[in-house]
Chains A and B, each alone.
Chain A
């Protein structure tokens, strides 16, 4: 028995040092990048309209809002928690901005209302999870219904319209030529989140908590506070997304952004973040957002209905997650 176990143990110890370059090339983000480039290539071959600056700029609109939430959600999932309520936060934030509009709020006030409502909702989730020690997946299913429910109570079957013209800039404006405000904001936030997760102590704490929350606690990491901050950040990003989306659509309905939570989580998981927590990277999530955007837009140019795109994204999600396990099983068999 013991001599049969020897080889398996020996295999765990690498016989040579791993090369940094090879690791980088074989890493999840680089694999995703290859997938993204292939999709880009396929798209430009499949449709003659794809490779125009305006078309590509249009393509960014359908995923930037979700991608902004995915940045914060990635950190949250790395820490071992999850927030299902983000689409509910968008609904309530958008509704509250509409309410503020009825009281004659100007663009600055609208933005402030949007950011603070998002932050408050995130903090509410954070308190429920960290102070009361509840499982985030169920709590946020509850708050999702609660948040969206409140906008249904306020709005019913009506909608808010007539947002000020200057407010439309956030979701529709261009900074320079075809480069939209939304897209630049997304890139800036992505850099910000990259630094936060990969270059700061806070980011290391997030990884530590995701790997072993108890050990983190004993090492002096303030687990509850870090998690609380992450919930607030996710709420805030949902608030930002709500501002952009409301500005882009120019109206608020209680059913706004319905089902986004699953798309955002798909984006994060596709980006290589372990759904059980402890590992992941912001680069991966950013590339995954581009993949999802490119797939959706390219198929749209080919007149593929939206629901078929979601099937393709679903298959993509499962294959991408299953692939490493399948490959290692195949290797072990040989």
Chain B
């Protein structure tokens, strides 16, 4: 029963939603909207699960004094203080909560994001090393596309921007669409497997 009931719910609702995409009738649309509202109601409960998980993981680390357990103290202190700041002083501009958001979280997120520039440079170096014929083609294409995006490209030759556009619009787009068709079919197949109960791993366990 532990498996059957969720499977029955999934199959019933799954087929109803498949039918919904072909039925524009108000009855179908209203049911879909009503269901969406209910699914939104699940989120707050799931947040508490996330917070509990965070407490359990870091609480265990602190309790067992595992190496670097102090970081866990900071994590939990940050969590508690930010939540309290929001509950006590509100979340409007100028409150401690917003101060933390604007002066702690945003700069730290921006820092992580900024690292991406260096990682891209490193990844580009790895990708564009002309070790094989394919890698050489990739390198040439990349150089053309990059030059095509800046004024220098047009200054070198008027064909570079056009070649750049052609690379992006023809071979690149063709490959992208091929992947997208595959992805679309993959999604359909996975959805079908879930609807028919062939794929049940997400319920826990393999079969």
Partners in one complex: no
Q: What is A's interface to B at a CB cutoff of 8 Å?
A: none
